[in-house]
């Protein structure tokens, strides 16, 4: 599955806007993403498996925060960052 990567995380994907990962849930996708791009998951997900406050993951058009959310082969995953900072 192809995942869209936001600019703050592209240092982990050799500046690529997309990365491939496999899994049946959002959490499994992120775990596989971590295997392929070490370090990327902890910047998005804390040590208690909670998506960090300013990170957003869209499953197609729907924002999801539960890492157990199932995903299918036809789904599109987009990782985004919320508007924050200054």
Partner 1 sequence: MADTPVLLVGTRKGAWILTGDAERRSWSAEGPVFLGHVVQHLVADPRDPSTMLMASMTGHLGPTVFRSVDAGATWTEARKPPQFHHGDRLGRSLQRVFWLTPGHAAEPGRWYAGGTPQALFVSDDAGDTWEPVSGWNDHPLWEKWSMWPEDQTPDGSMLHSVIVDPRDASHLYIGLSSGGVFESVDAGRDWKPVNRGVAVAFLPDAEPEFGHDPHCVRMHPQQPDRLYQQNHCGIYRIDRPADRWERIGDNMPPEVGDIGFPIELHPRDPATAWVFPMDGTDVWPRTSPDGRPAVFVTHDAGESWSRSDRGLPSAAWFTVKRQAMTTDDADPVGVYFGTTSGEVWGSVNEGEQWSPIVQHLPEVYSVEFTRV
Pattern 50-69, partner 1, x by CB under 8 A: x-x-xx--------------
**Using the rule CB under 8 A, is 4 a contact of partner 1?**
no
**Using the rule CB under 8 A, is 82 a contact of partner 1?**
yes
**Using the rule CB under 8 A, is 17 a contact of partner 1?**
no
Give the DSSP letter of residue 84: -
User: Could you tell me which residues come within 8 angstroms of residue 2 by beta carbon, excluding any fewer than 6 positions away?
Assistant: 18, 19, 20, 76, 77
Please state whether 34 falls in left (phi above 0), alpha (psi between -120 and 50) or beta.
alpha
Binding site for partner 1 (CB under 8 A): 8-9, 38-39, 42-50, 52, 54-55, 81-82, 84-86
């Amino acid at each position: 599955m192809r995942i869209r990567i936001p600019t703050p995380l592209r240092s982990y994907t050799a500046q690529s806007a997309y990365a491939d990962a496999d899994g049946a849930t959002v959490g499994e996708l992120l775990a596989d993403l971590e295997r392929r791009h070490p370090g990327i998951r902890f910047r998005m997900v804390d040590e208690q498996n909670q998506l960090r406050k300013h990170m957003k993951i869209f499953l197609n058009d729907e924002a999801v925060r539960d890492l157990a959310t199932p995903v299918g082969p036809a789904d599109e995953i987009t990782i985004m960052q919320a508007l924050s900072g200054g």
